[in-house]
A and B are shown apart, each in its own frame.
Chain A
């Protein structure tokens, strides 16, 4: 099954984790992105995720292959929700198993960073006041972010 995948329903963390089990692995690192009740000073009520799935899966697979090669980890997976999510829901899960913890941590961090930066997924925040807005990618929002592919204004 693909190492990067989308789901329209709640992610089953136990099942995902089980795919990484390996008697040769001593370290497992996981990251989960949860829907937070606030962002940049606004109170968030729910989120809506949308993806260009064909390209996103391809790009996600490339990220995971790069992580496996670069850090020498045994197994890595990423699953991302699409659709409507409420506060506290699991939006994205990354899991990595490896012989040792150092490479597991580094690969896990690499994957989530790259996924957020490169994979065509978008999220729209719906605020408590009824307003809504598409979220900037983190790097664009950072001062001194490169112009070009990722700079943009808050688009609401």
Chain B
């Protein structure tokens, strides 16, 4: 199995929720396992409501949170054992995050190009500013922007959609093989949402980048994902091919989720279904 891109083996995360004298414990993620193939890029979606543990799981995959039990292997080696800085840098060059709120992901007091240029310098060894700008521009073009457009701008001077695209471009600079996107479009306007969702598709097809896509929106999940896992209160209740699972879910919770999705057929055909 060592050729798998990412292996999540029985990962559990327990938070203690008591004061000084201890208190109840809370299992945010409970015995989750799945693997991502290395040979073919795919979009692997984690679906669940708030409190289902999907964000904690994504934080563990990004090595921002250490699991209480189980292991996460990236290309065969356990990421929790990355001690040396160079090992961590190599990991980060291959696995990059996209966060939910672009306005929070960028420091409001510094210009956006600082993150692009630093990523270029630190991961791709760009020595001169021109070289770093060229790399940044190259990545920005992949998301439909250009360096001149966003250079020396503060985050609040760009729209949510533009800023999220800059975030994606920044993640693309080191040429990662895995992007972990936590609800990347929930804060973006509807008209721009499709542009970014389609972008993930092109990243998979043209750049061969695998994507872990975290969302509570089943409809977008259906549109974009290859494989899917449904999480409830930290546990995986159902998993498999995205279209198959969403078209006829087996687990009662997945069925409940699907029936709660607001469909348009009510207004297109009959009266409002209760």
Q: A and B: partners?
A: no
List residues of A whose CB falls within 8 A of some B CB: none
B binding-site residues for A, Cβ under 8 Å? none
